[in-house]
Structure 1
Amino acid sequence: MPQLLLKTRILTVALTVLALPHPAAMAKLRPQPKPQPVLGVRSVQVLTVNKLKFKDLNKNGTLDKYEDWRLSSAERSRDLLAKMSLEQKVGFMLISTTRMKNDQSFQAGQAKEPITSDFNEEDLVASQNMFTRKPLPTPIMNAAGTTKAVTQYHLRHFILRANVSARLTAEWANKLQALCESDGLGIPAIIASNPRNHITGAAAIGTSVGKTVFSAWPGELGLSAMRDLKLVREFADVARQEWSAVGLRKGYMYMADLATEPRWQRIEGTFGEDAQWAGQMMTEIVYGFQGKTLGSGSVAVTTKHFPGGGSGQGGQDPHFEWGKKEVFPGGKFANNLIPFKAAIKAGTSAIMPYYSFPADTKYEPIAYAYNRAIIHDLLRTELGFTGIINSDTGPIEMMPWGAENLSIQERYKRTLEAGVNLYSGTADPANLLATVKSGMVDPKLIDDSVLRLLMEKFNLGLFENPYVDEAAAERLVGNAQFQARADLAHRKSIVLLRNEAEILPLKPKTKVYFEALGNKPVGTATPATSYTINDGKYPVTFVATPDEADVIVLWLKPSAKPLFASDGSPIYLALSKNSVDVAYINSLTAKKTTIVAINYSNPWVIDEIYPKDGSTRIKGVLATFGTTPDALLDIVTGKFSPTGKMPFTTPISEAAVQQQKEDVPGYEEGTGYSLFKYNEGLMYKGGNKRISNK
């Protein structure tokens, strides 16, 4: 070989060797083996393969792909799907209420024994709509006996409504997971819930559980009013820890709907009227509950109600036939999508369409769960959502707006083809199974849905360990450290709106009559929520009667007709029509200088006590959004300086409410609409300047 050629080859080899990554760097480039996870086992055997441990979920003595935690969730899901019968697949596509023993949540008026962590083995078959109390054409099974649901119906998705201790919840969840492990392929359950961490006056099945043993934070509007995204993320992370500790791994929350229609009875569950801000809130909520990706400590978020349910005609709600139309007189349909886009970008695990249908858009006027152009074309294709589409409760049997003339099987066919993956509302898979067996739908739609649902469970780590430490759950849930952060949030959520002559904060030694008014009959005694004894927490003196006071502080808590007691009549926001004794309040304000705090679950109209001409002795106005008396008094007495900002605009009059457009945020309604503006809020330092960016 010529010497020059030999030298050239030697040089080429040397340069190639020099160009190779260091062995340590090469090791980093290779996929790293997953560490051995902790396995939670109750009845199945544990297999040992190459010194690693795996659960033999299908009890065949062999390591199947779906049991192998070293594989991807997608590979495991495909393997398990191939092993499932049609009956198992169909049962897997239902999510229904499940009840602990003695839980009578749906049977008001019945004698109640204490709820225990055992199973409720009774079927709950309803002949009337669980929400509207109207007769149903055909009875439906709202809940199945637990063992029957798991072993006969193959259900693995459940909604827990019971409000009990952390230990009882954890004990029950472990029993449910043990039952699932012992059955068939050993597929674990996923347990969902509505919100459990907020102070609300409108707790109801399907909206919020209300006061619980979990850390108690402001309502959703209050979280928004804080204008503190870091603390919002912290809230979601705290709630995630509490939920996962007791076995709750899926949240039917939060609402990305916009509060553009002030009469809507679900505004309390929104983050307000501004789409961009609601999108930022949803981002922090999703990241706080799920993390950047779903993992073994995550709680999967179900964002609702696509494509936004806040512009119902006349403020009515589509749980009822008279509220089925969603209207867009301001042409703001696209504005509704902004918070959902943010949730999708953050990775929300599921999205729930609402019952309503678009009445004046390019889209077909049929309920969103049936609306392929909305679900498949818009949500899946245009917005790129790849997660689970979870129907709201009962679009097949109870609220099939626009599809009333279709048979039950035709409704299932239509919603499957639109893109629904998980059905809420019934525990009985018979009708869905009959639809599939009839050949009316492409079986690929079933497989696609089951794959998405399996992926969520694998990503959450439920196949390895669905069990929780019951004693640890009791210690963690609602602990003092968590509640201290929630208490800070309460104070940051309160908004100072008016402060004439800088009456607030109240000066030391001021004699204060403080009264919280809900539904207060005229002439009744001072409510228990009044402060008459100062235990040293505040620099003021509390007195027992208004006549003794220098300043009266009133905390009004208006309450509209409950959502599920709606009757289709016009909805009003005036205080007198929402459980507030206006005459009593005016009698007090006529006597003494008054500070009024109003709990805004809706944008109430307060001109009956706060007239436009200023002829009132109300010199300070504050807004609360589900908080505590101590938090309010900390603001009033100056222990905490207010920083909150309004999450929506409040109308100046009832006439303004009747003339506004359902889909238009209050800050765009024009001159003369607002009393308090979106993002308005005063601070003690810096004078009495009103602050607003809208």
Structure 2
Amino acid sequence: MTTTTTRTTLTAPDGTVFRDLNGNGTLDPYEDPRVPVADRVEDLLARMTPADKAGLMFQTVIETGPDGSLVEALGAISKSPTTAVVQAKRLTHFNVHRLPEPRLAARWHNALQRLAEDTPLGIPVTVSTDPRHAFHENSGASFAAGHFSQWPDALGLAAIGDAGAVRQFADAARQEYVAVGIRAALHPCVDLATEPRWARQLGTFGEDSALTSAFTAAYLDGFQGPDGRLGAGSVACTTKHFPGGGPQADGEDAHFPYGREQVYPGGRFADHLAPFRVAIAHRTAAMMPYYGMPVGLVLDGEPIEPVGFGYNRQIVTGLLREELGYDGVVVTDWELVNDNVVATGQVLAARAWGVEHLDAPARMVKILAAGCDQFGGEECTDLLLGLVADGAVTQDRLDASVRRLLRVKFELGLFDDPYVDEDAAAAVVGRADLVAAGLRAQSRSVTVLTNDVLTNGPLTNGALAGTPILPLAPGLRVLAIGLSPADAAGLGEVVDDVADADVAVVRLVAPWEHRDSMFLESWFHAGSLEFPADVVAQVRELAARVPVVLDVTLDRPAILTPLLGLATAIVASYGTSGPALVAALTGAVPPEGRLPFQLPRSMAAVRAARPDVPSDTPDPTFAAGHGLRYAPASA
């Protein structure tokens, strides 16, 4: 083992071994692993100062040193040195971004826990993360897998259509997270992908409420434990974005002021809420409301205040707490209180939609009044303590949130042993069986949209004439565009000139409008779903010479209408590596994917559709659930 602690581990007179977190030489109830969690929480709560409580109610981003050390200089994303934010501000919840290789990640985590152990009560740190097991790199939402096993994005898991595959992924990710000390997941994202233009669809399970609900249950069971029960080997999940973040007006994202409005013209609020009901039944440790501001929403005859959901008492307290009976943690989405100055010097305005006129203290009061427990992306403990000192926020209000936050830490076993083993981290993260399972899932998720009979090119003169082009036969001469030569070699003989090719395999990504006037904007693919004319022309030119197999990576729907008559086969993927795509195209791992949303025929149809209604564009090129299978190989 390579873990150590800085405080003395003691043995009580009755033989109980415990961590003397407050250094008083006595086994206090909150240090006693035999005491029920509720009693441990109350004992610790009574010992906490207002500063201890305030620190627990913030979660901010933290950076790691490349050598596994703590970062004490201000970096690109950290607002304070690590020691200052842990020991002076008493924060104990951190969202980690970049991680070094597993052994060093574990070393960093242990150093962070030792730092927390040197606070007066020794409250351990909870490290959280956005999704980091797939392909999409977006510092505002998710990270590429890196050292972790790599799986299709959530849309790809949905395309497989198997709750067992979702549970398998969640259990694999749980093992790797726990190995490096990550004990909280800022996911799953169970929003419904009902607005074709919305930029966050890749992280969802698609447009279908019933399927998303089933996958939500499997996801929580895989991460947290059977029936979602937390334990020493669990990762606590934050299900988001309550009460459903998909129906954005015009498909714009609520990260940005032009995308703040969330609308329900089809009256389908209940569909979007349904997966969150399942998350509650499966004991999700936390919920996160979205930035979105409901416009024109009426529930049970009561108009809902048009303010961001994190500020909305009718939604958080009235619906989530009282009607649905949820008593877990509610953490806001990032930066609802203060403007943020990012590394470029650009000022990112707080996402205070509907309450832009309020100052930071008033926003904080409204968030607490709404029923939220923790401020995401903030560390302004002095502001909260000032509100307590002024009587604007009561001690009882702090205690209500602190109880929920402490309960999760105790249920995860962090007070009893928060440390991880560097050797185990190196052995578990990227373990061969997890990598193989992820690679197979990538191939399975590929969705065959069209698979036409060969009608042009040299292949029509041989044994393949009159047969569907997929799976690709061995021994072909392949022109590969968007695949590395090494990966393309799995398809056959790689050639550089279309004149020498039997077939062209082309990878495209779903189109979007390139925007970069605001921080993070370039990461959120929004706007038109139409391919540029030059892309269509390039495919047309190829298709005139040779059969084309086209793969389109869908992070949201794409309008494939102009490509349908050109490519001999079209497949969709949702985070698939070169080797995984090759396995699917050759049939080594037969693709099983079905579309998790419809693919509209035109932008006119998209603009006419209702954002909260699934499959609401008329005459789509492909309906949700579409997906072809290869014919069984002959004996």
Structure-2-length-normalised TM-score: 0.90
For the pair 1:587 / 2:536, whether they are aligned, the reply is no
For the pair 1:205 / 2:139, whether they are aligned, the reply is yes
Q: What corresponds to 1:597 in structure 2?
A: 551
For the pair 1:394 / 2:338, whether they are aligned, the reply is no
1:337: how far off? Answer: 0.4
For the pair 1:256 / 2:190, whether they are aligned, the reply is yes
Q: What corresponds to 1:678 in structure 2?
A: 624
* C-alpha distance in structure 2 between counterparts of 1:389 and 1:670, whole Å: 35
For the pair 1:117 / 2:68, whether they are aligned, the reply is yes
**Structure 1: 5+ residue stretches without partners:** 1-38, 102-114, 131-141, 517-527, 688-694
Q: What corresponds to 1:100 in structure 2?
A: 64
* C-alpha distance in structure 2 between counterparts of 1:568 and 1:289, whole Å: 27
* C-alpha distance in structure 2 between counterparts of 1:554 and 1:531, whole Å: 15
Q: What does 1:190-201 correspond to in 2, within 5 Å?
A: 190-200=126-136
For the pair 1:219 / 2:153, whether they are aligned, the reply is yes
1:443: how far off? Answer: 2.2
* C-alpha distance in structure 1 between counterparts of 2:394 and 2:602, whole Å: 54
Paired amino acid for 2:393: V
Paired amino acid for 1:421: D
For the pair 1:662 / 2:611, whether they are aligned, the reply is yes
Q: What corresponds to 1:110 in structure 2?
A: none
Q: What corresponds to 1:427 in structure 2?
A: 379
Q: What corresponds to 1:27 in structure 2?
A: none
Q: Residues 68 and 100 of structure 2 are in contact (CA less than 8 Å); yes or no, is this contact kept in structure 1?
A: no
- Between the two proteins, what is the percent identity of the paired residues? 38
Paired amino acid for 2:157: L
* C-alpha distance in structure 2 between counterparts of 1:630 and 1:429, whole Å: 48
1:649: how far off? Answer: 0.6
* C-alpha distance in structure 2 between counterparts of 1:318 and 1:638, whole Å: 41
Q: Residues 40 and 464 of structure 1 are in contact (CA less than 8 Å); yes or no, is this contact kept in structure 2?
A: no
Q: Deviations over 1:324-364 (max 9, x none)?
A: 10011111111110111111111110000011111011211
1:651 aligned counterpart, secondary structure: coil
Q: What corresponds to 1:606 in structure 2?
A: 560
Paired amino acid for 1:121: E
- 1:491 corresponds, among 443, 453, 461, to 443
Distance verdict in 2 for CA 1:568–1:685, change over 3 Å: closer
1:567: how far off? Answer: 12
* C-alpha distance in structure 2 between counterparts of 1:635 and 1:183, whole Å: 53
* C-alpha distance in structure 2 between counterparts of 1:654 and 1:335, whole Å: 25
For the pair 1:342 / 2:342, whether they are aligned, the reply is no
1:409 aligned counterpart, secondary structure: helix
For the pair 1:91 / 2:46, whether they are aligned, the reply is no
* C-alpha distance in structure 1 between counterparts of 2:374 and 2:524, whole Å: 30
* C-alpha distance in structure 2 between counterparts of 1:589 and 1:606, whole Å: 15
2:233 aligned counterpart, secondary structure: coil
1:497 aligned counterpart, secondary structure: strand
2:273 aligned counterpart, secondary structure: helix
Q: What corresponds to 2:463 in structure 1?
A: none
1:650 aligned counterpart, secondary structure: coil
Q: What corresponds to 1:381 in structure 2?
A: 322
Q: What does 1:493-572 correspond to in 2, within 5 Å?
A: 493-501=445-453, 502-516=468-482, 529-530=484-485, 534=489, 537=490, 540-558=492-510, 560=512, 561=514, 564-565=520-521, 571-572=527-528
Point out the more displaced range, 495-504 or 239-248.
495-504
- 1:450 corresponds, among 402, 424, 436, to 402
Q: Residues 608 and 617 of structure 2 are in contact (CA less than 8 Å); yes or no, is this contact kept in structure 1?
A: no
Distance verdict in 2 for CA 1:645–1:174, change over 3 Å: same
**Structure 2: 5+ residue stretches without partners:** 299-303, 339-349, 454-467
Distance verdict in 2 for CA 1:568–1:500, change over 3 Å: closer
- 1:234 corresponds, among 144, 165, 168, to 168
Q: Deviations over 1:492-525 (max 9, x none)?
A: 1011111122221123333222221xxxxxxxxx
- 1:60 corresponds, among 24, 36, 41, to 24
Q: Residues 515 and 531 of structure 1 are in contact (CA less than 8 Å); yes or no, is this contact kept in structure 2?
A: no
Q: Residues 158 and 192 of structure 1 are in contact (CA less than 8 Å); yes or no, is this contact kept in structure 2?
A: yes
2:319 aligned counterpart, secondary structure: helix
- 2:82 corresponds, among 140, 143, 146, to 146
Point out the more displaced range, 637-646 or 333-342.
637-646
Q: What corresponds to 2:36 in structure 1?
A: 72
* C-alpha distance in structure 2 between counterparts of 1:570 and 1:231, whole Å: 29
Structure with larger RCO (C-alpha < 8 A, sep 6+): 2
* C-alpha distance in structure 2 between counterparts of 1:569 and 1:168, whole Å: 33
Q: Residues 44 and 182 of structure 1 are in contact (CA less than 8 Å); yes or no, is this contact kept in structure 2?
A: no
- 1:645 corresponds, among 586, 594, 617, to 594
1:192 aligned counterpart, secondary structure: strand
1:154: how far off? Answer: 0.7
1:336 aligned counterpart, secondary structure: helix
1:438: how far off? Answer: 1.1
Paired amino acid for 1:95: Q
Distance verdict in 2 for CA 1:356–1:404, change over 3 Å: same
Q: Deviations over 1:520-543 (max 9, x none)?
A: xxxxxxxx6245874xx55x4332
Q: What corresponds to 1:522 in structure 2?
A: none
Q: Residues 606 and 617 of structure 2 are in contact (CA less than 8 Å); yes or no, is this contact kept in structure 1?
A: no
1:466 aligned counterpart, secondary structure: coil
Q: Residues 275 and 336 of structure 1 are in contact (CA less than 8 Å); yes or no, is this contact kept in structure 2?
A: yes
1:218: how far off? Answer: 0.8
Distance verdict in 2 for CA 1:99–1:567, change over 3 Å: closer
Q: What corresponds to 2:460 in structure 1?
A: none
Q: Residues 324 and 356 of structure 1 are in contact (CA less than 8 Å); yes or no, is this contact kept in structure 2?
A: yes
1:78 aligned counterpart, secondary structure: helix
Q: What corresponds to 2:343 in structure 1?
A: none
Q: Residues 150 and 156 of structure 1 are in contact (CA less than 8 Å); yes or no, is this contact kept in structure 2?
A: yes
Q: Residues 7 and 23 of structure 2 are in contact (CA less than 8 Å); yes or no, is this contact kept in structure 1?
A: no
* C-alpha distance in structure 2 between counterparts of 1:567 and 1:248, whole Å: 25
* C-alpha distance in structure 2 between counterparts of 1:323 and 1:154, whole Å: 35
Distance verdict in 2 for CA 1:568–1:192, change over 3 Å: closer
Q: Residues 176 and 425 of structure 2 are in contact (CA less than 8 Å); yes or no, is this contact kept in structure 1?
A: yes
1:678: how far off? Answer: 0.7
1:153: how far off? Answer: 0.4
Q: Deviations over 1:645-684 (max 9, x none)?
A: 1111110112111111111111xx2642x11111111111
Q: Residues 134 and 152 of structure 2 are in contact (CA less than 8 Å); yes or no, is this contact kept in structure 1?
A: yes
Distance verdict in 2 for CA 1:542–1:570, change over 3 Å: closer
2:333 aligned counterpart, secondary structure: strand
1:452: how far off? Answer: 0.3
Q: Residues 314 and 570 of structure 1 are in contact (CA less than 8 Å); yes or no, is this contact kept in structure 2?
A: no
